[in-house]
Each structure stands twice: as structure tokens, then as C-alpha cells.
A and B are shown apart, each in its own frame.
Chain A
């Protein structure tokens, strides 16, 4: 897959260190399923994690720790994980990256329950755990539709799954990710040929610049 817009390197480091919010991490996992360049970058950042783990001063374990583990290895409930057979399928044909496929129970993008939140705008919320600060959802925006200009209270990650949109940063097509922090505002316009479906994680409520946007916010809920 040809990807033109990639993850910010600080996002890659936070993902690799396991400190990126759950909703944002989910979008990163989906992007790297499709983007070999970012996948490689995460791998590099994970090497740093291994090196730092290895350099930690060892802590004393309880005397029985190894015995307890050894006893558990003989337990029948400890099963050997089956080898993965489906390594060739990254979901680029179905349009659903593998980590997302798990979240929507293997359904196609057209089969999820889309909730209409405004003219030409549909959401499908995805579950995150209670402690997560961010929101995770699929968004479907009608062909040619312009979203109100907005900035964000925190980070926003948007992965295009189908169709395309354009904003001041550029053209975002399938596989592209917009990695925006709280300082960047944008006004996405969906290309006229087909609707655009994105996987979006927001860290904090989105801030609309215009009055119309601010009125729309409680209705749209982004």
C-alpha cells in the first residue's frame, strides 16, 4: 500500500513505550498494519525499550518464583499458542486492517451500525476501557462534504479506510494517517467521488472555531 502521510516520531516512541492512550494506540496499530515504514519505525523504537529493560538493575525475586512458574508450565491449562497461518492478509483487500477487524467482530465497514449525527455524517463508536481518556470511533462522511474547521484539546489521529479527504495539510487517501496535536486546526473536505470512512481517535473534545461548529459540537459529539 502506498502511504503518503505517516505517524509523528513522538507518537511512534509513545506507542512503543506503551504510554499512548488506548484509543490512539488502536489507530496506530491499524496504521502500522498497512504502513511498512511506520511498522519499521515502531520496531526501532521497541529496540530502545528492550535495551532499557536489559540495563535495569535486577530486582530480587522471591525464592519460590521460578518453582511456581515451572509448576504452572506443567499445568494443562497452559496451552502453546497456535502458529499464525494468516500472515499474508493485512486486511487491505477487505478495507479493514486486522486490529480493527477484531474490534468490529469481522464485519465489513458497511455492516456496522452507523448512527446518523448530522447531515452526511455518521458515527460508529468503538469500545475502550474505562480508564482510557480518548474516544475511538469510525466516522463516515458523505462525498463532497466539508467538516467545520476545528482544532483539538489534545491529540487526534485519523486513519483513512475508504475514500479520501483534503485539508490545508494535503490529500489523505486510504492508509494515510493525520497525526495532529492540540496546536493544529483543520477543515477537512471529502473528495466528491465517494464517501470517506475513517478510524478516528481523539484525546479530548474537539474545539470548533466557528459559532456554527460550536453549536454543532454537542449534537455531533466530536
Chain B
């Protein structure tokens, strides 16, 4: 994926772009539908996301994460922007962080490509009640309070399950260090 995005960034390569679309387009539509967008709007958001990928391809930095993580943040931010009327506040995307000198140096690129599979493995092993919370949050777009209401559990329990799930992912990533 990084190779394809690189070709878009450097050569504005439409063949590479359409290959990215083939992989991400249908998943992005699924993502938008599950977050509650009606079909037409979901497709519209897919288009917006892919066009943003085209416009911002050169801003992607492989030392900060995988292409998939980056596409996720682009899609997430676009969807949020659409539902916020005056757009005063913008979530920070992977390409948008203020860099500090103490950030992980960029020679960790090889490790970055392994991060997704480590997180994938950690997520697969989560206890059901933790992975359910993550799914409701990331995919179903539910704030903590709505999750608590839906599952009929205290808000504090939602928070503690989120923390536990996060720590497991983090522990999975520490294997890299």
C-alpha cells in the first residue's frame, strides 16, 4: 500500500490510485454505513475520502504509521467535519501533528509496517466484552455514554474496559521495542 501511495504522491499515478480505491473504497463504504450514513451519503463520503487521499498523498509519512491507519484518520476526520456545522475544531490527523524533537525517529519505518499486524493480533485476543466496546466506539460511532446506555452498564465500566483494551494493544506493540 505504501508503494501505491508513494506513486500517487510522486507521479500522480492514476493506476496506483485506482488500486488503492479497489482496496479501500468498499471498506470505507462499509465503515460509513455502519456509522449510520445512508447509502448515498456513505458513497459520497467514500468519494471525499479518496479525493483527500489524492490531494494529501505527499503528506503521508511512513514513519508515523501504515497507509491503512492514515486512510482511517482521513475518513474519520472528513466524517466528523461533515457533521460539525461551523467546523471550528479539527481533529488532528496523522499528517497534522506538531512535531517535537523527542518523537520516535524515522529509522523505525520497518517496525511501523509490523505495528498493524501486532495490533490486529492483540485485538483478536481481546475478551469479548472489551472488543465489543471497541467495536461500538470505532465502528458504530457511539460515545462512551451511549455505550453505557446500550449495554446497560455503568459509564465507569465502559471506561475501564476501554483502558484494558488499550493496554493490551500497547503491550502487543511493546514486543517491537
State how many angstroms separate the Cβ of B155 from the closest Cβ of chain A.
7
A183/B156 in contact, CB under 8 A: yes
A56/B79 in contact, CB under 8 A: no
A9/B167 in contact, CB under 8 A: yes
Which residue in chain A gives the minimum CB-CB distance to B29?
A: A59
B137/A14 in contact, CB under 8 A: yes
State how many angstroms separate the Cβ of A104 from the closest Cβ of chain B.
11
Q: Assuming A9-B167, A19-B141, A51-B116, is B94 touching A46 (CB within 8 A)? A: yes
| Residue count of chain B within 8 Å CB distance of chain A | 85
B138/A52 in contact, CB under 8 A: yes
B5 at the interface (CB under 8 A from A): no
B50/A69 in contact, CB under 8 A: yes
State how many angstroms separate the Cβ of A96 from the closest Cβ of chain B.
11
The interface-forming segment of A35-43, A159-167, A206-214 is A35-43
B 68-85 contacts with A by CB, 8 A: 68-73, 75-77, 79-80, 83-85
- Complex Cα spacing A103 to B88, Å: 7
Residue of A9, A43, A58, A182 near B163 (CB, 8 A) is A9
B84/A22 in contact, CB under 8 A: yes
- Complex Cα spacing A51 to B118, Å: 10
| CB-defined contacts of B141 to chain A, threshold 8 Å | 17-19
Assign chain A's interface to a size class. 35 or more
Q: A9-B167, A48-B119, A50-B69 are in contact. List 7 more A-B contacts (CB 8 A).
A: A18-B80, A39-B97, A46-B72, A51-B119, A52-B135, A68-B47, A73-B17
- Report B's interface with A, CB cutoff 8 A: 14, 17-18, 21, 25-31, 33-34, 42-43, 46-47, 50-51, 54-56, 58-59, 64-66, 68-73, 75-77, 79-80, 83-92, 94-95, 97-100, 102-104, 115-116, 119-120, 123, 134-135, 137-139, 141-145, 155-156, 158-160, 162-163, 165-167, 169-170, 173
8 A-B residue pairs with CB within 8 Å: A23-B89, A42-B92, A46-B65, A46-B72, A47-B119, A58-B26, A65-B47, A73-B54
